[in-house]
């Protein structure tokens, strides 16, 4: 008598539109951890300073922003009317580490098919593992940079040279980072789904991220935006995250709950659209990549 086999996973290119493999991806968390370790090791392999580059890069960028936008251009670092201006170095460092994580994750996720095509062509695993592992890998560098910023913030507070304070709202930082990560993954997988077939569109990603950065309060405070345009400006899904990040970190600034909820809704829509596109493209990407 033949023995009956019960298979846990059936590999097929035929599946429903909203069959997004989210639950299956969670079962492959060990593989995600291995990819995170691989990506983090490869990033600093054969470098003299190694992971110190995760600290040096935002520090140098912050120094340049402080000199150019703070000292020379004298742009405001206030996010609310009558609000105390946050010390320039702290302000620019907070914006730079958030934007650095966001833009790097989008770039990495948008190249996930190209970077992993050799593995994907030989072994089956949920393709969503790639974008998730890229986002988690960059989260390590973000954690290092955030720890450094907390040390600098404490130095400012203890020396009495800053009008900032630590509040219990600091506990909201993980939620804001998760929000930023989901938005970055959503944007990244949309880009990766499009550029898999139309490779030349990848050239626009870096340029588009530069424009997006200037359209977000990274190098200036929200008070610089004229009142008549502020409502439209806050519809940028990154803007409420950045202002909320500074608000909970420094205890001063702007936190508009209504605009933040709009950002949360837009993030959810972008992430869902990205998952649907990614699910459709992953079935045939080996034929077009």
Given pLDDT bands bounded at 50, 70 and 90, which one contains residue 101? very high
pTM: 0.87
Q: What is the dihedral of CA 155, 161, 167, 169, to 10 degrees?
A: -90
**Which tens digits make up the pLDDT trace of 42-94?**
777 766 666 777 788 888 999 999 999 988 888 888 888 766 677 889 999 99
For 64, residues 6+ apart whose C-beta sits below 8 A from its C-beta are none
pLDDT band of residue 1 (cuts 50, 70, 90) is very low
Residue 128: name the closest of 31, 219, 62 by CA: 31
In a domain, 6, yes or no: no
Asked if residue 4 is part of any domain, the answer here is no
Rounded distance between C-alpha atoms, residue 159 and residue 10, angstroms: 62
Q: What is the DSSP letter of 50?
A: G
Residue 150: inside a domain, yes or no? yes
Domain-located, residue 10: no
Does 225 fall in a domain?
A: yes
Residue 28 lies in a domain: yes
For residue 240 the two structure tokens come to 């409420």
For residue 12, being part of any structural domain is answered with no
d(CA 115, CA 100): 20
d(CA 63, CA 66): 5
Of residues 133 and 112, more confidently modeled = 133
Q: How many folded domains does the chain comprise?
A: 1
Per the structure, the complete domain to which residue 145 belongs is given by: 22-288
Is residue 73 in a domain? yes
pLDDT (average), residues 247-259? 90
């Amino acid at each position: 008598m033949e023995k009956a086999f019960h298979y846990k996973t059936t590999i097929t290119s035929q599946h429903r539109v909203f069959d997004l493999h989210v639950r299956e991806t969670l079962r492959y968390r060990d593989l995600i951890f291995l990819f995170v370790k691989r990506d983090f090791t490869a990033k600093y392999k054969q470098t003299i300073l190694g992971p110190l580059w995760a600290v040096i890069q935002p520090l140098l960028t912050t120094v340049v922003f402080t000199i150019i936008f703070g000292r020379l251009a004298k742009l405001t670092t206030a996010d609310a009317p009558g609000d105390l201006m946050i010390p320039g170095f702290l302000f620019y460092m907070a914006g730079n580490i958030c934007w650095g994580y966001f833009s790097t994750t989008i770039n990495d996720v948008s190249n996930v098919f190209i970077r992993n095509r050799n593995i994907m062509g030989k072994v089956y695993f949920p393709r969503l593992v790639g974008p998730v592992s890229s986002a988690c890998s960059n989260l390590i560098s973000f954690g290092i940079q955030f720890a450094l910023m907390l040390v600098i913030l404490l130095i400012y507070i203890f020396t009495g040279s800053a009008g900032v304070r630590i509040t219990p709202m600091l506990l909201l930082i993980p939620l804001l980072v998760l929000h930023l990560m989901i938005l970055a993954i959503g944007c990244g997988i949309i880009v990766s789904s499009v550029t898999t077939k139309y490779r030349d569109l990848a050239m626009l990603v870096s340029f588009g991220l530069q424009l997006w950065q200037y359209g977000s309060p990274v190098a200036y405070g929200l008070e610089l935006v004229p009142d008549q345009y502020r409502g439209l400006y806050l519809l940028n899904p990154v803007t409420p995250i950045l202002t909320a990040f500074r608000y909970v970190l420094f205890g001063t600034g702007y936190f508009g709950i209504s605009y933040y909820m709009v950002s949360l809704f837009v993030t959810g829509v972008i992430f869902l659209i990205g998952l649907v596109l990614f699910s459709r493209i992953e079935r045939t990407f080996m034929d077009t990549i």
